[in-house]
Each structure stands twice: as C-alpha cells, then as structure tokens.
C-alpha cells in the first residue's frame, strides 16, 4: 500500500515513517509538515492511505480533506476529542492516538487491507467534515460609497434593514449601505447572533432591550441604541425570536 503522511510536527512525522517502514506493509510515497502544500502532492500522487494529523496551523486536517477529491483511505493521527473519534468509526475510518503504538498501527493497517479487499471505496468524508468543522462567520461587513470602501464591525450592527431597493447595516452612529440582500445576510451571518424578524429586517439579538406584544399576533422589538429603535416582528417570526432570546 502506498501512503502519504501529513503532520505539522516533524519529529512525529519521522517517527511514524520509521514505524511504517518497520511493518514492511506500506510504501511511504510522500510526507509533509504543511497541509496546504500537501494538497497538490496528494492529488498528483494518489496514495492509497493518508495518515493525517487534525490540529495543524494554517489548515486543519478536516479542511485539508475538503480539498481532496477523490479522497484516499484516511487514518487520523491525533490526540483529538473522544466524541469526535467515535464519529470517525461510524464513517469506517480509523485513528491513532499519539504517541502511536505499534500494535495500534498494525490494527489500522489490518482494517484498511480488509476494506480494500472487499473492493469497497474510501468513505465520503464530506458530512463528517461538515459536522466537525466549526462554521466560519464574518466579523465585519463592507460598505462601498463611491470609490471608498468602509468596513463595519458586525458587533456594532444593531440590525440590517431593506429600504428603497437597498440594504443597510444600522449602527448607533449611522446607517451603512451594503451589497447584500436580507436573505443573503441571513445565510451569511451567525444564526446564533442574528435572527430575521421581518422579510426586510435582520436583528442582532445582543442589541435587543425590550420585547412588546403587537397587534395581529406580531411583536415589537426595542433596541438598546440611543434612538431606542423599534422594529416590527412578523407574526410568523415571533417564535424564532423568542427561542433565540431564551424565552
């Protein structure tokens, strides 16, 4: 079997390479301490097995796997959370806890040989990567006026609203025009911090001061900003807002 090794710790990489050579079952065709640089090498070399560390600077193991299509059989070499490791087993991949022991390495190789002997394909890691990789949300939004682009900290935005075919980021100081629709912002921003309260309004729950009943089953939100801005909450969005506010 042909293997490629990725680990940001050079000593760990050399140790694993020696252990694999001692088994006489694996040909190491490449190693790398840089996960970014490893991606093209793996795509070109097409190894049967990838021994992969998880926690690495620049790009972690899950992010690296997302760039590999097709993916080889993966054996994680890690000291990662036990609950995550249980998820690996469900996806028919194996893992080696550092420091790696020879018996555990043989177990992983036995499993890979067994799976390859059944003509099975390496499991699709897409769903596992999605579940174990924390989503990334922007911490600022751009506002372009003429030739100038101004960046607005998301934390300072009390709400986003649509008016006159434009979308604005409202802050205590001023409103900034942004090049997104409310729908796009709802998909782009952290759902734990921003909730859509109206087809034209997305509110930052950290800036909510009061919640009042409104006619026709709706509600009204009053913000903490100096203007004590009031925002209408559509009846069909009241429950989502209350859940986000913990009430």
Render pLDDT for 218-228 as a digit per residue (tens, 0 to 9).
Answer: 899 999 999 99
Q: Considering only residues 96 and 135, tell me which one the structure prediction assigns the higher pLDDT.
A: 96
Is the pLDDT reported for residue 120 higher than 80?
no
Tell which residue, 76, 180, 165, 79, has the closest CA to residue 128: 76
The torsion angles phi and psi of 149, rounded to 5 degrees, stand at -115, 125
Smallest Cα–Cα separation from 230: which of 241, 219, 239, 238? 219
What letter would DSSP give residue 193? T
Angle at 163 between CA 159 and CA 164, to 5 degrees: 160
Asked if 7 and 30 touch (Cβ cutoff 8 Å), the reply is: no
3-state secondary structure of 6: strand
Query: What is each CA distance from 95 to 29, 58, 77, 85, 198, in whole angstroms?
Result: 20, 22, 6, 7, 47
Orientation of helix 102-117 relative to helix 10-23, angle to 10°:
60
Side-chain half-sphere of 16: how many Cα atoms within 13 Å?
Answer: 33
pLDDT at 202 over 80: yes
The mean pLDDT of the chain is: 88
pLDDT at position 90 over 90 = no
Residues 6+ apart with CB under 8 A from 148: none
């Amino acid at each position: 079997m042909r293997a490629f090794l990725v680990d940001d710790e050079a000593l760990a990489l050399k140790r694993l390479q020696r252990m694999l050579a001692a088994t006489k079952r694996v040909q190491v065709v490449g190693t790398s301490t840089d996960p970014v640089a490893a991606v093209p090498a793996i795509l070109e070399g097409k190894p049967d097995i990838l021994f992969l560390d998880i926690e690495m600077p620049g790009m972690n193991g899950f992010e690296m796997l997302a760039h590999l299509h097709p993916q080889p059989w993966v054996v994680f070499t890690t000291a990662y959370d036990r609950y995550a490791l249980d998820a690996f087993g469900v996806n028919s991949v194996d893992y080696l806890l550092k420091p790696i022991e020879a018996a555990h390495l043989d177990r992983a190789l036995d499993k890979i040989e067994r799976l390859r002997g059944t003509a099975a394909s390496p499991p699709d890691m897409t769903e596992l990567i999605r579940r174990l990789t924390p989503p990334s949300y922007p911490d600022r939004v751009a506002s372009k006026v003429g030739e100038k682009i101004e960046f607005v900290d998301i934390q300072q935005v009390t709400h986003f609203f649509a008016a006159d075919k434009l979308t604005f980021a409202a802050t205590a100081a001023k409103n900034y025009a942004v090049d997104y629709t409310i729908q796009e912002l709802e998909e782009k921003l952290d759902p734990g911090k921003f909730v859509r309260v109206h087809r034209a309004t997305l509110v930052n729950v950290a800036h909510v001061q009061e919640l009042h009943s409104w006619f026709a089953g709706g509600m009204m939100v009053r913000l903490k900003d100096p203007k004590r801005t009031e925002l209408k909450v559509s009846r069909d969005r009241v429950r989502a807002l209350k859940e986000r506010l913990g009430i």
